[in-house]
A and B are shown apart, each in its own frame.
Chain A
């Protein structure tokens, strides 16, 4: 049936195609927002985030700062599943006389996910407010310690960019696999991502999905005098997780270039969801370019 549809002449007026795409986008958007799983994921993420409080001075510094970054994972999983449910409907063939082709329907479904981005923007805004309400979080240890650390704008933007990736991943798996097969894969992907300390090394973090800052960089041997380090550095001393003095590195530039890497991955996933053809080839090329630029730039950001 798809082969027959692809040979039909394109004779429909563009205005009717645009109207159909808008109508489908609105219908799918309403369905997504009415999915209880989306709000369950959002609720879990907010609950997790709200339960994070600054750790006592004698506990590992940075636990709360890093813990807040991970709380978005249930929301991302829910967004992926909601997107997969929408694109799963595309697995049913439509008649050759359908008013729009699959490509236009895919665009409509992607446009329909814009409200999901707004949900995540609201989550990021709530996270920023919560950090300020707590008076900031602690990072580092004396003599390089702060108790008023706030996530940078770039770090706050990461949940929004991750939502784009969640939509794209859900779209690809929902379009190409039955939902019962997509759910375990999406679960493993997003909850493995939450084991962020596995991907926190400076060599690996540019390639991670959920990049949790700060990154620890070598500062000096365990016998170094921390007073000799630059005064603006945040520091962590030798302990259970490191045998050396480390610089606790937080960078907005690193986070922004990581967003470029994530957008590249998202574009590649969308290429899996769209039909074969010129569109897919352009998406693969663009996604690959963005991914490579994002990764290389992140490595260049490190001092």
Chain B
């Protein structure tokens, strides 16, 4: 991996990333968590929702209007994606930690691995989808998966699969990373 160009590109890339979605999502989540904490209500559902929302924000950060222009540069598309993901994951994980501290949640619900699993799944879909739609489709994956998990009723195969992102996040993360490695030249 060419480190020096990525280091030079870090600050301009950080400026190019749209931070408004992260700020908007953060504001809404923190307000609701504070509301739940003050009302002494369970917050596990809100934290699960936060996982999906933040994972979608992470994938959405891959949106680069200059992607076609940058296709000719010697730094590969995957390296540029890794740079963007690194830049956005740092504040997202910091926000996740703040959320778990505020919510004073039950043990286990503060684990960031489900968030990472959803984000990795979304990035994998974005990488393998057609370029002009990839990031949008990938950003949909975490929210669609969460929506499916919360709406599919009862027990059954579909219900089990829909819950994998939080019942087996390590496996989901591993599979998504393998898919990304397979698509490293895309």
User: Which A positions have Cβ atoms within 8 angstroms of B?
Assistant: 44-45, 47-48, 51, 74, 77, 177-185, 187-189, 191-192, 194-195, 197-199, 201
Contact = CB atoms under 8 A, between A and B. Distances in A.
Given A44-B147, A44-B151, A191-B49, 15 more contacts: A45-B151, A48-B151, A51-B154, A178-B18, A179-B136, A180-B136, A181-B18, A182-B21, A183-B60, A184-B25, A188-B24, A191-B52, A191-B53, A191-B150, A201-B39
Given A184-B25, A201-B39, A192 B151 contact: no
B35 A198 contact: yes
Contacts of B20: 177, 181
A187 B143 contact: yes
Interface residues of B, number: 35
Nearest to A186: B143
- Chain A CB within 10 Å, residue with most, of B28, B29, B35, B147: B147
B63 interface: yes
A183 B49 contact: no
A206 B45 CA distance: 23
Given A180-B63, A198-B32, A188 B139 contact: no
B46 interface: yes
B32 A180 contact: no
Given A44-B151, A47-B153, A77-B147, A185 B24 contact: yes
A183 B151 contact: no
Nearest to A45: B151
Contact of B151 (A47, A180, A195, A201): A47
B57 interface: yes
A47 B154 CA distance: 11
A189 B52 CA distance: 12
Nearest to B25: A188
Given A181-B18, A184-B56, A198 B25 contact: no
Nearest to A184: B56
A192 B24 CA distance: 13
A74 B35 CA distance: 23
In the A-B complex, the 6 residue pairs with the closest CB atoms: A51-B153, A184-B56, A187-B143, A180-B60, A181-B21, A180-B63
B41 to A, nearest CB: 6
B165 interface: no
Contact of A195 (B21, B49, B60, B152): B49
Contacts of A185: 21, 24-25
B99 to A, nearest CB: 12
Nearest to A199: B35
A77 B56 CA distance: 15
B151 A189 contact: no
16 contacts: A44-B147, A44-B151, A51-B154, A181-B18, A183-B140, A184-B56, A187-B53, A187-B147, A188-B24, A188-B25, A191-B52, A191-B53, A191-B147, A192-B46, A198-B39, A199-B35
Given A178-B18, A181-B21, A183-B139, A198 B36 contact: yes
Given A197-B41, A198-B36, A198-B39, A180 B139 contact: yes
